[in-house]
Structures are given as C-alpha cells and as structure tokens.
Amino acid sequence: MRFDPATLVYDDHGLIPAIAQDHVSGKVLMLAWMNADAVARTLETGRVTYWSRSRQAFWVKGETSGHVQELVEMRVDCDRDCLLILVEQTGPACHTNRRSCFYTGIKDGAETELMAPEV
C-alpha cells in the first residue's frame, strides 16, 4: 500500500509526535513534532524535518547546528498517531550538546544527570 501522510492521525494543531531513535545504538534521542508537510519533506529529502511549535516554521534538524539527522526508516504505530524515526545522528541531538534529550533520570524520587554535554 502506498503511504500517504494525509492518512496519519494529527492532533488539534495538525501535528503528530515523532520519536527519533539512533538506528545503531537504539538510544532514544528526542521527541519532536511533524505536520503532514514535514512528514512528506522528511521522506522526500531524507533529512529529518520537524515542525517547530515555538517558531511555527519547518525545522530541518541540524540546519544551523550541523547536527543533522539522516532518515534511515520511518515507522508508523498501530493507531497511526505517532511516528518512530530511525536516524543516523551527526553529533549531539540535544540543544544542550548532549547525545540525547533524555539525560535526566528519576532515581529514588530525585533527579539525577545521566549524561554530560559533549565537548
């Protein structure tokens, strides 16, 4: 079956959450949002492209930082309301310069830093 981004289920803002996962290590890098056009652009260009909710604009990941995400494979979940994006990540995925945005763990009720920024 041909894939049509219009068949995905978007929220009230026309967005769908997209989980970026490192295709080699399996590390979950970040979650960001796409609209139908961002899904189409990601598939067409092979460069992972989100929709920035704060800037209300396309966000080609790494366009300014150089920390690009090359698309390896896009997956859709059973409810068609979430995407899993397997990526080849150049450098850190997080704006804090950490490999992953999920660098804070909750241990015994306290927050603990799991990962240092890359240098």
- Per CB under 8 A, 105 contacts its own copies: yes
- How far is Cα of residue 1 from the mean position of the Cα atoms in its chain? 25
Instruction: Give how many residues touch its own copies by CB under 8 A.
Output: 38
- Which residue's CB is nearer to its own copies, number 66 or number 109? 109
- Per CB under 8 A, 110 contacts its own copies: yes
Pairing of strands 57-60, 49-52: antiparallel
Q: Is 95 helix (H, G, I), strand (E, B) or coil?
A: coil
Measured between alpha carbons, how far is 57 from 73 in angstroms, rounded to an integer? 23
Task: Show binding-site residues for Mg(2+).
Answer: 77, 79, 81
Task: Show binding-site residues for Zn(2+).
Answer: 78, 94, 101
- Per CB under 8 A, 3 contacts its own copies: yes
Give me 7's structure tokens.
């068949």
- Per CB under 8 A, 15 contacts its own copies: no
